[in-house]
Amino acid sequence: MRVYLLLASREARNPVPPVALRAARRAVGEAFPVPSEVISGVEWSAPDGQVAMFGWSNEPRHDLLPGTVAVGTGRRLGYCGYLAEPKRDGDLLLTEPDLGAAVPGLGGVFAVFRAGEDGVEAATSMARVCPVYHAESRGVRIVGSRALLVHLVARAVETGVEDPEADLSVEALHPLIRHGFFVNDDTPFRGVRALPAGAVLRAPLGAAATVRRQPVPEARTTPARAKEQRGLIEPLAGALVDAATPLGRHSEPVTLALSGGRDSRLMAAVLKAAGVPFTGATHGFADDPDVVLARRVAGILGIEHTVDLTVTEGRKESVTVQHPLARTHEIVRMCEGMNSAYESVNRYRPYDPVPRTSGSGGETLRGGFLYDQDDVSPDGLRKRLRLIFFAAERLMTEDANARAAEEHRRWAGRDGFDVLDKLYLYYRTGRWIVGLHTATLMNAPYYHPFFDNRVVRAALGLAPAWRRSEYPFYLLIRELAPGLADVPPEGGRWRFDREHRPVLAGRRAWRAREALVPRGRTAGFNWRTSFDDGFRDLLRERIMDGPAELFAVVDRDAVDGALRDSPKRWAKQLWHIHTVSVLLSGEWRRPLPALPPVVIPIPA
C-alpha cells in the first residue's frame, strides 16, 4: 500500500508553511493503518518551497511493485493501486502536459498524484476504488490518498498546531448511518472532499484550482440481431483480457476465490483467456451450490482447485465475538469513518507479494443497482432511488432528512436505468469498496480486473437495461470460455432465460433442505439474528450515552425505541449509529485498552 500527500501554495511566491510539513510527517503515523516500523517515506520540496510531495509505503522491494515516487521531466509522480503497463503508462503520466488527456486511456486500478515546481495534480479512474481527497486551508492546497492525513494537515495550517484536533462535519454523516457508506463526495472531516470518479484536479501556483470530470462513454443502442449483439461485447471482452494481463507477470499462480456465482466464474474465464496461471479456492458444505458449481467450473477449465469443506460439529451453546468497541475502533481507523463496523475488513499482517484477485465488482457489468431490481417500471425505479437516499428516515432527525431530500433532488427526474447504474458505480463502488480495498492493499498486491479503468468505460458503453438482463454477461463467458456457457448460474438460470430449467438446485432450495447442525466459530451467528439482550445493552450504552452531537443526526427517541423494541430489525443501522458514535467520540485516535470478548448465546 502506498500513501501520498501533495501540498501547494495558492499564491505564487508564498512557501508552504513549515507547520504543514511537520504535521504531514507526524500525521502519517496515524493515517497510514500499518505499524510505523514497516513504513518507508520519500519527501520532495520545490527549491522555492511552494510545492511539496510526500510518499510512504509498506511494500517490500519487488520487481513488480513500483517505487514510491518516480522522477522525470521536472515532475514527481506516484500512484496508488496499479497500472496495466507500469513502465509505459508511468512515463506517459510523467511527460504528458495534460494529465486529463492521459488518464482515460489507461488500464489498471489507480489514483495518480503528480507534483512539479508549477503546482500539483491528481486524478481518479472511473471506478474510484483508489480515492483522492482534497482540501484548502489558508492559501495552502492539500491533496492526498488518505482523508485523515489531508484533514490533519489542513487543520495544522489553520490552527498553527502540529498535532491538531479533528473537526468532524456532523451534519454530513447521515448517509453513513443510512447505508454504512457515503452516497455523495463528502467525508467525515470538515473541508475535505473526495474527488469524483474519472476526474482530474489541477492546482497550479497563482491560479484557480479546477476539477474536471472526464466524459462518460455514451451507452450505445442495443441491436436486435444476435450477431450484432455479440459484436457489441467484443471491446469489453478484450478490455477484460487486457485487464488480467498484469496478474500474469507474477511468478506465483494467482489465487482466485471461486464460487458458483456469476462474477467469479467470469473472472475464471477472463484469467484463462489471458493465459494467467491461477488456482481456485472454495469454502462451504459439500452440497452447497457454490461448491458444486465451482467444482464444475474448475473441471471444465482444467485448473487446480482446492475446497475447504465445512464439516458439521456438535451444537454450540454460544459464540464468542470481538467487543463492539474494539471492532468499531479498528474499522474506523482503517476506513477513516467512511465504512460501518457492520462490515468486516482485513487486519494488518506482514506484506505478502503473492497476487490475489476475486470477482468483486462484477455488478457494474450487470447494471449496478439494477442487478437486483425486479420492478423496473418507472414507479419501481423511482422507489428504489428514493430508498437509496432516504433509508432509515424513521431514525433520522428532520435536518438529516432535509439534507437527504436535497441530495435526492439532484438525481430525481433522470432516466431511472442510468441513475441506478451510475449511483452504484460512483458511490457503492467508489465509496463503500474503498475502505475494504485499502484493508486488502496493505497486506498484498490485489488485482481487480472488473474495476479496471478501461473495462468500466467499455461497460458503460452498453445500455444499463441490457446489462441488467445478464445477456452481455453470458455472452462474455461464451466468448472467453465457451465450455462454461452450459454451466447454470447459482440459482438455476440467467435473468434473460424465460424458461425455468433448474439444472442445479439454487440457494433458496438448498437452504430449505433439512437443517444441518451449526458448526464452527460463527455457528448460528450473524450481526442481525444474534442481537441478544446482552449485546444489545452494550450497544445501547455506547449509543445513548455517547456524544451529544450524534443526536443532531439521529432522533434520540426513535433510536431508543429501536434498541428497546426491535434491535434485530434495525441491526445494520444500529451498528452504523455505533460507528458514528465512536467516530464523534474521538476514541479511535487513541490506543484502545484491551477489552474482553463478548459471549453471545446461540438460539436453540
Crossing angle for the helix pair 416-423 and 378-390, nearest 10 degrees? 30
Query: 226-316+333-513, which class in CATH?
Result: alpha beta
- Give residue 519's pLDDT: 44
DSSP string for 535-593 = HHHHHHHHHHTS-GGGGGTB-HHHHHHHHHH-TTTTHHHHHHHHHHHHHHHTGGGSPPP
How many C-alpha atoms does 318 have within 13 Å on its Cβ side? 10
Nearest-angstrom CA–CA distance, 202 and 119: 8
How many C-alpha atoms does 576 have within 13 Å on its Cβ side? 23
Q: Are 156 and 97 in contact (CB under 8 A)?
A: no
Q: Are 183 and 403 in contact (CB under 8 A)?
A: no
Nearest-angstrom CA–CA distance, 151 and 159: 12
Nearest-angstrom CA–CA distance, 259 and 288: 10
How many C-alpha atoms does 507 have within 13 Å on its Cβ side? 8
DSSP string for 253-274 = PEEEE--SSHHHHHHHHHHHHH
Q: Which amino acid is at 230?
A: R
Which residue intervals of 278-342 are DSSP H helices?
289-301, 324-335
Domains 2-213 and 226-316+333-513 share a fold: no
pLDDT averaged per 10 residues in sequence order, the chain, 604 residues: 97 94 97 96 97 97 93 94 96 95 96 97 97 98 98 98 97 96 97 98 96 94 93 96 93 87 93 94 86 93 91 73 90 96 90 87 94 94 96 97 97 96 96 92 93 97 96 95 88 70 56 52 49 79 94 96 87 93 94 88 71
Nearest-angstrom CA–CA distance, 554 and 508: 36
Q: What are the grid coordinates assigned to 431, written together?
A: 465509496
- Give residue 290's pLDDT: 85
- Give residue 41's pLDDT: 97
Give the Å distances, CA to CA, from 294 to 233, 272, 287, 289, 566: 25, 15, 11, 8, 38
Q: What is the pTM of this model?
A: 0.94
Q: Are 15 and 45 in contact (CB under 8 A)?
A: no
Dihedral of CA atoms 559, 560, 562, 563 in degrees, nearest 10, equals 120
CATH 3.60.20.10 matches 2-213? yes
Pairs from 216-220 (Cβ < 8 Å, separation ≥ 24): 216/126, 216/422, 216/460, 217/457, 217/458, 217/460, 217/461, 218/461, 219/418, 219/460, 219/461, 219/462, 219/463, 219/464, 220/461, 220/462, 220/463
Q: Which residues contact 494 (CB under 8 A, 6 or more apart)?
A: 470, 471, 473, 474
Give the Å distances, CA to CA, from 129 to 115, 258, 361, 449: 22, 22, 10, 12
> Computed from CA positions of residues 149, 151, 153, 155, in that sequence, does the dihedral angle turn out positive or negative?
negative
Nearest-angstrom CA–CA distance, 523 and 510: 18
Q: Are 240 and 476 in contact (CB under 8 A)?
A: yes
Nearest-angstrom CA–CA distance, 118 and 203: 9
Pairing assessment for the beta strands 305-309 and 318-321 based on DSSP bridges? unpaired
Q: What are the grid coordinates assigned to 443, written together?
A: 497486506
Q: What are the sequence ranges of the domains in the chain? A: 2-213, 226-316+333-513, 533-601
Tell the residue number behind the cell numbers 484557480, with chain if given. Answer: 208
Of the candidates 191, 159, 154, which has an alpha carbon nearest to the alpha carbon of residue 172? 191
* Extended strands (E) in 411-526: 446-447
- Give residue 505's pLDDT: 54
Tell the residue number behind the cell numbers 428497546, with chain if given. Answer: 564
Q: Are 432 and 439 in contact (CB under 8 A)?
A: no
Give the H/E segment covering residue 238. Answer: helix 226-244
- Give residue 521's pLDDT: 39
Which residue intervals of 442-470 are DSSP H helices?
453-460, 464-468
CA angle (282 as vertex; 279, 287 as ends), nearest 5: 135
Nearest-angstrom CA–CA distance, 222 and 426: 24
Crossing angle for the helix pair 471-480 and 226-244, nearest 10 degrees? 60
The alpha carbons of the chain give a radius of gyration, in whole angstroms, of 24
Strand ordering across the sheet containing 446-447:
305-309, 278-284, 254-257, 356-357, 446-447
Nearest-angstrom CA–CA distance, 590 and 404: 32
Dihedral of CA atoms 554, 555, 561, 563 in degrees, nearest 10, equals 20
